Amino acid sequence: MVDLLQNIFNIKGVVLFLLLVAIVICVGYLLGRITIKGVCLGTAGVFIVALIVGAIFKDQITGIRISEAGDYATAFKTMENLGLIFFITAVGLIAGPNFFTNFKKYFKSYILLGIIIIAVGGLSCVLCYFIGAGSESDHGYFVSMLVGILSGALTSTPAFSASKATAVDMFAQGDAARAGQIEDAVTAGHGIAYIFGVVGVVLFVQLVPMILKANMDEERKKIAVIKSDEGRDIKRKLFEIDPYGLFVFGLATAIGVIVGAIRIPLSAKGYDGICFSLTTTGGALLVSLIFGHFGHIGPVSLKVNKKVLEVFREIGLMLFLVGAGVPGGVEFINNFKPMYFVYGVIMTLIPMIVGFIFAKFVIKLPLFNNLGSITGGMTSTPALGTLISTTKSDDVASAYAATYPIALVAVVIVSQLIVLLL
């Protein structure tokens, strides 16, 4: 397909990249629309098509040059980050008015559940180590592969970055060639596990309500909270910069990126060593939640039209899935090993199932709060989009937003501990 576009129609560079993205989006939405016994991929269909395109046409795609300074990987990474910012900012602004009410009611449960999900994920990684240790000759490479798989199974970029830095410090010991091998192992593991890490959670949040035969109307009533501005006509009292709230959206995004870029050193090397940050995702989520909660700064409104937010949320998720999917398909084909994929499935399913059972029977969270917390605990952005569509309730985003930061910190710490202790 790519050769056809290049040779017959003479489409190259940026135009070829944009056309490829448009085709992936169109076919992805068609695939996502297919429903089998009430289950569909929805927007995640875009991710599946992107993976397939990346895998089948990897040689042609890797040859795409956007400009003299950038290749296909740079373009897709930019698209992935832009989409993630759009999605998370929109989710935060929607969830903000109800977030603190929801969080106050269940905050202990959300914190506990986030820790449990990541702790079980770490134990699953250790289990996989003992399963495969006898068949692996290079201990450092295998451990690096496993922590990469863990970060992919939990779709966590911060864990991926922290694991790579820790593994290089632990197993390379200043050897540049060895450092390259270790970095490649973490990257390969992340890419192999990321696919099921996305699709597995997306299917889980759709299947569970069906298996439990949940009354969706009743469950929506349980998670719904009183709107913080209900009964107050504040629109006439506040000054709006623009009628759609695009100024507010841009401001929340800009401040969120800055907050996410703040780095906190976690090692004696200071900023040259291991650092923790909220990342772009965490920063955008935190700032947009605060904007959504307060609703104004003095006389200036911080409200954004909900329809605009819903459009940004869908466009953001779509761009994120295309940006992550096409390069993910390329890396998957280059590094795939069946047993490594099985490890990824284990590290996705076990923490997700254990977390759900614990939330349902021990802390007794309502179903939608439970599933929202699972998407946050698994740090799964695509699954949240699917859950909102499945439940037809934006309130599930509050459970995601409450659990996500806990899981974000925990998965970084657990990944580093695994490298240091195994």
Show the 3-state SS of the chain: CHHHHHHCCCCCHHHHHHHHHHHHHHHHHHHHHCEECCEECCCHHHHHHHHHHHHHCHHHHHCCECCCCCEHHHHHHHHHHHHHHHHHHHHHHHHHHHHHHHHHHHHHHHHHHHHHHHHHHHHHHHHHHHHHHHHCCCHHHHHHHHHHHHHHHCCCHHHHHHHHHHHHHHHCCCCHHHHHHHHHHHHHHHHHHHHHHHHHHHHHHHHHHHHCCCCHHHHHHHHCCCCCCCCCCCHHHCECCCCCCHHHHHHHHHHHHHHHHCCEECCCCHHHCCEECCHHHHHHHHHHHHHHHHCEECCEECCCCHHHHHHHHHHHHHHHHHHHHHHHHHHHHHHCCHHHHHHHHHHHHHHHHHHHHHHHHCCCCCHHHHHHHHHHHCCCHHHHHHHHHHHCCCCHHHHHHHHHHHHHHHHHHHHHHHHHHC
* Per-residue pLDDT at 373 exceeds 50: yes
Split at pLDDT 50, 70, 90, the class of 256 is very high
What's the confidence (pLDDT) of residue 91? Answer: 86
Split at pLDDT 50, 70, 90, the class of 226 is very low
Classify 365 in phi/psi space as left (phi over 0), alpha (psi -120 to 50) or beta.
beta
* Per-residue pLDDT at 9 exceeds 70: no
Q: How does pLDDT run across 263-302, given as a tens digit for each residue?
A: 887 666 666 666 667 777 778 888 998 999 898 888 899 9
Split at pLDDT 50, 70, 90, the class of 231 is very low
* Per-residue pLDDT at 258 exceeds 90: yes
State the average pLDDT over residues 233-255. 84
Split at pLDDT 50, 70, 90, the class of 210 is very high
**Count of residues making up the chain:** 422
* Per-residue pLDDT at 390 exceeds 60: yes
Report the sign of the C-alpha dihedral through residues 265, 267, 270, 275, in that order: negative
* Per-residue pLDDT at 229 exceeds 60: no
* Per-residue pLDDT at 117 exceeds 80: yes
Q: What angle do CA 49, 50, 52 make, to 5 degrees?
A: 65
Question: What is the pLDDT of the chain when averaged over all its residues?
Answer: 84
Structure tokens at 81: 């980050």
What's the confidence (pLDDT) of residue 230? Answer: 44
Split at pLDDT 50, 70, 90, the class of 97 is confident
Split at pLDDT 50, 70, 90, the class of 68 is low
Rounded distance between C-alpha atoms, residue 185 and residue 173, angstroms: 16
Selected residue with higher pLDDT from 180 and 5: 180
What's the confidence (pLDDT) of residue 10? Answer: 61
The pairing of strands 296-297 and 275-276 is unpaired
State the average pLDDT over residues 302-328. 88
State the average pLDDT over residues 340-354. 95
Domain boundaries, the chain: 2-421
Report the sign of the C-alpha dihedral through residues 11, 17, 22, 23, in that order: positive
Selected residue with higher pLDDT from 137 and 153: 153
> What are the CB-based long-range contacts (under 8 Å, 24+) for 264-271?
none
